[in-house]
Structure 1
Amino acid sequence: MLGLGLAGCAKPSAPPPVEAPAPVVSPAPAPVVATPSRDELLAQYVDKVRRLIRSKMVYKGKTGNPDALFEVTLQPDMRIQAVRRVSSSGNKAFDQAVQRAIQKAGSYPPLPEGLEFSLFMTHKIKYRLNDLR
């Protein structure tokens, strides 16, 4: 009888644990990217052109801050067709260095979507010594 009493007191085995369903994770929303304005595109592009030409420039002078204005004519494929100095910096070596750098660049980078070739077909661009550093 003792055996029966002990068997009756045994605890029933616990039911297997129930796994909680995995939480549903939705993908993070794509970040909102503001489309640059036409003026911002233009400023970014001109900066890119300046950096390209700066990378081709060889000029040793360090005094003053000469600036020169050049007119550049491009072909539709953005190759440089002609470079003409419009106004001199008064420093012949600087003027020549800038003109050579423009010609050495060979072509401008492709235009970003949103800028028309007509803006660049023939345009003027000013270079200052301290802008080139």
Structure 2
Amino acid sequence: KPGHRTAKAYNSEADDLLSSLDSARTSGKPNARSDQAGSKNGVAGGAVNGSGVSAGWIDLVKAKVTPLVQIPPAMSGNPEAQLRVTLLPTLEVKSVQLVKSSGVPAYDDAVQRAVWEAKTFPKLPAGANFNDGYRTFVLKFRPR
């Protein structure tokens, strides 16, 4: 029909992006100097290099995930697996990607499953901003 439009399908990815917008920046454009840690408007406990993720928070995340890792019975050595984890603003796991293999596929799978099994992560430190490294970060795991 002329003038008739089909409704657009719901896009959950777009909804996630919209929900994660930093409302503190609505009054002006972002400025790396004023947004970095240590500045007047910086993130409390943030890192000047922009990583922003508190080591204490990473320790809490690992403390939640590590007990869920089922180490393969034939595992030898202490290889490291690195995962890139992306969270939703609700601190629920959105995606898990293997960045660096441990060389033991069964262990790589085990740590990825453990992150998914953890489902949600601890609340952010006081004054931390979700977009300052907490949305996507790398976790490193070793079996011992």
1:38 aligns with 2:45: yes
Match of 2:123 in 1: 110
Match of 2:140 in 1: 126
Q: TM-score, normalised by structure 1?
A: 0.64
CA contact (8 A) 2:45 2:127 kept: yes
- 2: CA distance, partners of 1:92 / 1:106: 22
Letter in 2 for 1:53: V
Match of 1:86 in 2: 99
Unaligned runs of 5+ in 2: 1-43, 48-52
Match of 2:66 among 54, 74, 78: 54
Letter in 1 for 2:99: V
Question: Any idea what the Cα deviations from partners look like across 1:33-90, whole Å, max 9, x if unmatched?
Answer: xxxx726981211111001001211114452011111111100010000001011110
- CA positional deviation for 1:114: 2.4
- 2: CA distance, partners of 1:84 / 1:72: 7
SS state at 1:58 partner: coil
Q: Give the % identical residues.
A: 34
SS state at 2:54 partner: helix
**Aligned positions, number:** 94
- 2: CA distance, partners of 1:42 / 1:111: 9
- 2: CA distance, partners of 1:111 / 1:96: 27
Larger radius of gyration: 1
- 2: CA distance, partners of 1:96 / 1:48: 21
Q: TM-score, normalised by structure 2?
A: 0.60
CA contact (8 A) 1:73 1:81 kept: yes
SS state at 2:139 partner: strand
CA contact (8 A) 1:66 1:94 kept: no
- 2: CA distance, partners of 1:117 / 1:39: 11
SS state at 1:76 partner: coil
